[in-house]
Amino acid sequence: MNTDEVLGIFREAGAVLEGHFILTSGLRSPVFLQKARVFMHADKTERLCSALAEKIRKGVPGRIDYVVGPAIGGLIPAYETSRHLGAPAIWVEREGGEFRLRRFEIARGSRVVIVEDIVTTGLSIRETIDCLRELGAEVVAAACIIDRSAGKTDVGVPLIALAEYEVPAYPADRLPPELAAIPAVKPGSRNI
Ligand SMILES: O=P(O)(O)OC[C@H]1O[C@H](OP(=O)(O)OP(=O)(O)O)[C@H](O)[C@@H]1O
Ligand SMILES: O=C(O)c1cc(=O)[nH]c(=O)[nH]1
Ligand SMILES: [Mg+2]
């Protein structure tokens, strides 16, 4: 599946929003990919995640013990991708602001692949890697449906993106005037 097909699915679902958005990194953007509007459709989610699983299989030699989704956005794509990889899906969720594997135990040395929805700065993936490494897991790769950095983000492990789509994002104190003129909204769950 190529980038146009992935973006086509997002557009068809009404998931490409325009306005003034506060991203999880604190950056501001005129575009927000509201993945929940895609993941509400099982058929669209299956098409995306089966293609992502195929890309992961090609890029990750050897065993995958767990697929890990960072909640909330990573929950559904990690679950659906895990189905196609034949490995169980677990998740990290925030407790006091930090990602933790609250509901599961994994053996040290477990080989895990992180599956995210969207990557902008890679901050959420790096936080997930820190949490998993503290538990002794080996993060063999990270994957996402759309990489908004278009390959510029370095998360310290191979990042397998189903699509790369570069979208502008600005520090809050360096907004272009057209963005500053629109009230900002924060759709994600960090700090809630
Ligand atoms: O690469 P980054 O700069 O970390 O941005 C991408 C992250 O932002 C979103 O999560 P968010 O924290 O907004 O909450 P959500 O998962 O509940 O949507 C998205 O699900 C990714 O996890
Ligand atoms: O960077 C983010 O927080 C982000 C961007 C985006 O387009 N979609 C999303 O869910 N999060
Ligand atoms: Mg998220």
Domains of the chain: 3-180 (3.40.50.2020)
- What ipTM describes this predicted complex? 0.98
Pocket (CB within 6 angstroms of ligand 1): 24-25, 70, 72-73, 116-124, 188-190
Cα 69 off chain centre by: 8
What is the tens place of the pLDDT at every residue in 125-177?
Answer: 999 999 999 999 999 999 999 999 999 999 999 999 999 999 999 999 999 99
* pLDDT mean over 43-48: 98
Cβ–ligand 2 contact at 19 (below 6 Å): no
Distance of CA 62 from the midpoint of ligand 2 (Å): 31
Ligand 2 proximity of 118 Cβ (cutoff 6 Å): yes
* pLDDT value at 186 more than 90: yes
| Predicted pLDDT of residue 192 | 77
Q: At what angle do helices 42-59 and 3-12 cross, to 10 degrees?
A: 160
Ligand 2 contact via 120 beta carbon (within 6 Å) = yes
Structure tokens at 38: 């895609």
- Angstrom CA distances, 173 to 19, 26, 79, 120, 169, stand at 17, 11, 38, 18, 12
118 is in an annotated binding site: yes
Q: Is 174 exposed, middle or buried (0-12, 13-18, 19+ CB in 10 A)?
A: exposed
